[in-house]
A and B are shown apart, each in its own frame.
Chain A
Amino acid sequence: MKQVKLIVNDKEISVPEGTLLIDACDQHGIYIPRFCYHEGLFPSGNCRMCLVKIEKNPKPVPACMTPVAENMVVSTETPEIAEMRKAILEFILINHPLDCPICDKAGECMLQDQYQAFSGESSKFKEDKIPKGKLYHFSERIVYDAERCITCTRCVRFTRDISKTNKLGIIKRGDRSYVALAPGDTFDDAYSLCVTDICPVGALTSRQFRFKERVWNLEKTDSICAGCARGCNISLQQRNNKILRIIPRFNPEVNQYWMCDFGRDYYLQIAAERLTGARIEGTPSTYENFVAVVADVLKNNAANTAFILSSHATNEELAAAQKLCAQLGIQQFYSKADRVWHPDSAEVQQDDFLILADKTPNQKGVEKYFPAAQPLSGLESNGKSFTFVWGPNVLAELVEPTQTIVLSTVADPVTDKAKWVLAGRTAAEKSGSFTNFAGVVQSFKQAISGEQNYDDLAFFNDLLKVLTRD
């Protein structure tokens, strides 16, 4: 692509043709403050925070609406610009409530941050602030505070350009304007929580997360969403080993800046129905004993064992399982979806944006490590074969409980009856990698420690250790 040279603050920089000035500056470490501009949205230039001076231009221009041009001479740090930024912040703050101590956004609020960085001056506003509605329940998920809103229109542009539901708009005029739904409508949008991520202030907040935790107390771990085969890049945010919030991470090739609402609920749902501990014939066992017993059972039944694979397994786990099966000589493999879409659920089955019909994160990995795996429908329930069930979603009548080993995360009819049961881990509790639907391998780190459950990878390695030691 053609490069364009321009001068910003007396320094020559070079960026691809067509780049917006604000992005060009970002790429070269020159931060221009902004509210309405978001890299993932079509710019609108309305907050006026990113105004900069361009030589020979009589008026300052919004950097978010100005493409770079050859030999453009730009100043972002003149005394005039500094004064203007203070003034814009002052304008925004005259009607914005100073309720940071009770605002959920505090700590990750662009208005707080940019006021600290670019102003810090006290307001000269002596008048009364404009009262507006503070509690609009847009949906079961989202609540809107019109007083905190700075009408940057990020959320409006999100529903217009990204989720394409056009649910939100600005109504009324001037300093009376606020974001609203059509009368009687609800914010029914599979990506609605994205507006809480991009809201620069605390106007749009998640009803599920708000008042739960101050954001600076959250410990954040880069992870991959296991809700579907897309593999959206996410940040798992927890405190005291409890996941409190999931927000998307930028990945230009996978999910850009976004993720669906269901992906954010996913771990919260799983947490409710977890399987715990190690069990042999309904009696709790120690992990070491369990490993020893299962190693023995597998060794004796390898020839007629059907190994049912988990599409929630990481690539590393699949590799270890492959090695284990090779060692044992297990040859029958079955693949399955650990989770399928249910018509009664509120979840979207699939759309033309991020949500895919395959509701599991690593079917591609299963295909890679176990190319010979057959669909689970091919497994015959004759009561003669021995089964290793990895992960949920296997019909109980398909297996003979007395000849079944289960490694799974959730309690279901199979785990209730099986002879050997071990609680495994979800993606939040382990490290590894998934291969998404397009073949992109994405690694993630353990966010929270497993409680009363055992790392799947360690389990396979431990089995292998026991078997090769003998």
Chain B
Amino acid sequence: MNNLKILLNYTPNGKSHTLADYLQRGGYNTLKEYLPRVKPDEIVAEVKTSGIRGRGGAGFPAGLKWSFLAKDTGKPIYLICNADEGEPGTFKDRIIMEENPHLLLEGIIITAYAINATHSYIYIRGEYAFAAQRVQVAIDEAYQAGYLGKKLPGTEYETNITIHRGAGAYVVGDETGLMNSIEGKKGFTRIKPPFPAVAGLYGCPTIINNVETLASIPHIVTHGGTKYKALGTQQSSGTKLFSVSGHIRKPGVYEVIMGYPFRDFLNNECGGIIDGRQLKAVIPGGSSTPVLRPEDVTDMTLDYESIEKAGSSLGSGGMIILAEGTCMVKLLEVLIRFYHHESCGQCTPCREGTGWLYKIISRIEAGKGQLDDVDELLRITKFISGYTVCPLGDAACGPINSFVEKFRDEFIEHIEKQSCPFGGKFIPFQEIVN
């Protein structure tokens, strides 16, 4: 059974983004009913109890993150909602912003109250024009309705939210790069420490959370952390959005309770693989998580520990399903082209390494590879991973190491045949062609 909807708790009727529809669904009730009774510290405690882990990809416990906030610094506290959803394959936050923006706003307002934030920002990636428009309309509605810009019911607290639009850089999905971007600086990430909770935006204590994390907060506050914790598995509580794309019949965003079996998810929610082909590979949590083979995912369930056990990571929940007939070298070339293009150029290993990796993989795909190139890829990733300022370097290495490890034969075949066995392109699917 998998029908609890915390984040996608709306009927797709074309009106779910409006305040009227949200109120009809019991929206802003948490704000109205709980905030006058609950102290900020109690909210933080509930979120800690809930065990919710950051939904942006790193999976750091959200309540714990809030408790690191520097106290009594005399400086303003900022809350940032990270809506720079840039990980290839990930489009779950977009659905929340486009279809359920008031849920996100309620989550932000409650969180801002809990951490006593002076001001909140929503950093929306440049490509999400429609989402930004929907959120802005929702913010305007919330101001009109008095949830923003006025003292919240039963409290002395009022808050404001500003949208900040990105200009199209993957690297500012990293929290410190994002802060530099808001400050009007080049989107270079910062070296930590200091962590944002101590010195973040404008050098002030800052909490930054993903859209999905913040949208889960009203439910946690209403129903209590213990109840939320009871959902899912030991280390993965609550529900999780998966945005699924690739060779499946029903690509889209699905909310599942953690621990849901992958096979059921593939066959039920995703509608199975098109053309009735066999599964070739799964990238479970966004393009930077290691690729898995069918035998790795037989018993895999959708939660942090099971995906980790299978050899990858839940990441952002941006799942890519690949069927037989996919050229893994070509796919890797596409992925690494992305990382090379997005490397900000701040630190040496990533700046130089991603370009080098891309050139080698392109050469192999073009039939000009040499046998030592495959091990050369691994040698290069060894000196990127762990030596860079931000995780972009690691993100580029994840797919390379796993693709080479799991599909080495395909790389060798490209090199020995001096051409791509798949003809240098993806094989068209009959169902799509028809």
Decide whether A and B assemble into one complex: yes
A residues adjacent to B (C-beta < 8 A): 44-49, 51, 59-60, 62, 65, 83-84, 87-88, 90-92, 94-95, 124-128, 130, 150-151, 169-170, 172-177
Contact between A173 and B387, CB atoms less than 8 A apart: no
Contact between B348 and A45, CB atoms less than 8 A apart: no
5 closest residue pairs by CB, A with B:
A87-B383, A177-B345, A174-B343, A91-B352, A127-B359
Closest chain B residue to A65 by CB distance?
B191
Interface residues of B in 342-356 (CB under 8 A from A): 342-356
Contact between A88 and B348, CB atoms less than 8 A apart: yes
Shortest distance between the CB of B252 and any CB in chain A (Å): 31
Is B70 an interface residue when CB atoms closer than 8 A count as contact?
A: no
Interface residues of B in 104-161 (CB under 8 A from A): none
* B387 interface neighbour in A60, A94, A125, Cβ under 8 Å: A60
CA distance A169 to B188 in the complex (A): 12
Assuming A125-B356, A127-B356, is B387 touching A175 (CB within 8 A)? Answer: no
Q: Which residues of B contact A92 (CB under 8 A)?
A: 348, 352
Chain B CB within 10 A, most for which of A88, A95, A173:
A173
Q: Which residues of A contact B370 (CB under 8 A)?
A: 126
Assuming A46-B346, A65-B191, A174-B342, is B387 touching A51 (CB within 8 A)? Answer: yes
Contact between B363 and A84, CB atoms less than 8 A apart: no
CA distance A126 to B360 in the complex (A): 9
Shortest distance between the CB of B370 and any CB in chain A (Å): 8
Chain A CB within 10 A, most for which of B351, B355, B359:
B351
Is B425 an interface residue when CB atoms closer than 8 A count as contact?
A: no
Q: Which residues of B contact A127 (CB under 8 A)?
A: 356, 359-360, 363
Contact between B387 and A88, CB atoms less than 8 A apart: yes
CA distance A94 to B384 in the complex (A): 14
Contact between B352 and A95, CB atoms less than 8 A apart: yes
Q: Which residues of A contact B293 (CB under 8 A)?
A: none
Q: Which residues of A contact B342 (CB under 8 A)?
A: 173-174
* B340 interface neighbour in A125, A150, A174, Cβ under 8 Å: A174
Is B169 an interface residue when CB atoms closer than 8 A count as contact?
A: yes
* A130 interface neighbour in B347, B355, B382, Cβ under 8 Å: B355
Give chain B's interface secondary structure class.
helix
B side interface size, CB within 8 A: 32
Closest chain A residue to B343 by CB distance?
A174
Contact between A59 and B389, CB atoms less than 8 A apart: no
Interface residues of B in 336-380 (CB under 8 A from A): 340-356, 359-360, 363, 370, 376, 379
Contact between B387 and A172, CB atoms less than 8 A apart: no
CA distance A91 to B380 in the complex (A): 9
Closest chain B residue to A169 by CB distance?
B186
CA distance A127 to B354 in the complex (A): 13
Closest chain B residue to A64 by CB distance?
B191
Interface residues of B in 54-77 (CB under 8 A from A): none
Q: Which residues of A contact B348 (CB under 8 A)?
A: 46-49, 88, 91-92, 150
Q: Which residues of A contact B233 (CB under 8 A)?
A: none
* B386 interface neighbour in A59, A65, A151, A172, Cβ under 8 Å: A59
Listed by A's residue number, 11 A-B pairs whose Cβ atoms lie within 8 Å are: A48-B349, A49-B348, A87-B349, A90-B383, A150-B348, A173-B345, A174-B340, A174-B354, A174-B355, A175-B345, A177-B344
Contact between A174 and B345, CB atoms less than 8 A apart: yes
Q: Which residues of B contact A94 (CB under 8 A)?
A: 352, 356
Is B388 an interface residue when CB atoms closer than 8 A count as contact?
A: yes
Q: Which residues of A contact B360 (CB under 8 A)?
A: 127
Chain A CB within 10 A, most for which of B191, B343, B382:
B191
CA distance A272 to B341 in the complex (A): 53
CA distance A90 to B348 in the complex (A): 10
Closest chain A residue to B392 by CB distance?
A174
Q: Which residues of A contact B347 (CB under 8 A)?
A: 45-48
